[in-house]
């Protein structure tokens, strides 16, 4: 049986194997269910789905960020942030927060006349339409003391890059100070 992965948007992906120019194996996901399908995930690899639902096979990453630290960010987003649609992604020593590019309230208005059977089905339909952009990130600065730095994405035409905000601190303090600004104009005043 081939490796099949269903992403958060309910799309089916199949793992394929190809070859590099030098003949080494390479792996990729495709929605095509035919071709050189792989029956088992190769040793040392794992499936990774990015916040926009794209699926990749990548080498197993060393775990630098703890589950408790991810839970701290998730809790802060639920308790302090007014956004309903966001994604948290961890890569190496950094926790990224992605927010929806579309206005969720306007999408809800568009879908309202469709008369979904229940609210959950409508929320899933909205979720399938959303794309996400990374807005805020916390990067581990001191592994022993678990001190992080914070950066936000800057959208000034001459910059369009990450800028540091505030001073290094514990993740809990930084989450409490900054996630409440996501989705508000005050976010763009952070520096």
**pLDDT tens series, the chain, 191 aa:** 889 999 988 899 999 999 999 999 999 999 999 999 999 999 999 999 999 999 999 999 899 999 999 999 999 999 999 998 899 999 999 999 999 998 877 877 777 776 667 777 777 777 788 899 999 999 999 999 999 999 999 987 767 889 999 999 999 999 999 999 999 989 988 88
Token pair for 152 = 């936000």
Range of the domain at 101: 67-189
Domain boundary residue, one of 59, 82, 101: 59
Q: Are residues 18 and 84 in the same domain?
A: no
- Number of structural domains the chain divides into: 2
Q: Are residues 136 and 175 in the same domain?
A: yes
Q: Are residues 108 and 144 in the same domain?
A: yes
Q: Are residues 106 and 33 in the same domain?
A: no
Predicted structure pTM score: 0.86
Nearest Cα to Cα of residue 48 among 85, 83, 78, 92: 92
Q: Are residues 52 and 72 in the same domain?
A: no
Q: Are residues 116 and 158 in the same domain?
A: yes
């Amino acid at each position: 049986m081939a490796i099949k992965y269903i992403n958060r948007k309910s799309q089916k992906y199949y793992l394929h194997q190809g070859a590099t120019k030098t003949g080494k194996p390479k792996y990729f996901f495709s929605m095509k269910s035919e071709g050189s399908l792989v029956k088992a995930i190769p040793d040392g690899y794992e499936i990774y789905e990015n916040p926009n639902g794209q699926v990749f096979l990548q080498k197993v990453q060393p775990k630098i960020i703890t589950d408790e630290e991810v839970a701290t960010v998730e809790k802060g987003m639920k308790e302090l942030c007014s956004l309903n649609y966001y994604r948290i992604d961890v890569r190496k020593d950094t926790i990224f927060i992605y927010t929806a590019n579309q206005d969720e309230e306007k999408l809800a208005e568009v879908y309202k006349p469709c008369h979904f059977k229940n609210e959950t089905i409508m929320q899933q339909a909205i979720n399938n339409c959303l794309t996400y952009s990374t807005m805020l990130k916390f990067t581990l600065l001191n592994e022993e003391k678990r001190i992080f730095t914070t950066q936000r994405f800057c959208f000034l035409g001459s910059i369009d890059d990450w800028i540091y905000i505030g001073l290094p601190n514990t993740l809990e303090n930084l989450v409490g100070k900054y996630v409440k600004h996501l989705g508000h104009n005050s976010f763009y005043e952070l520096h």
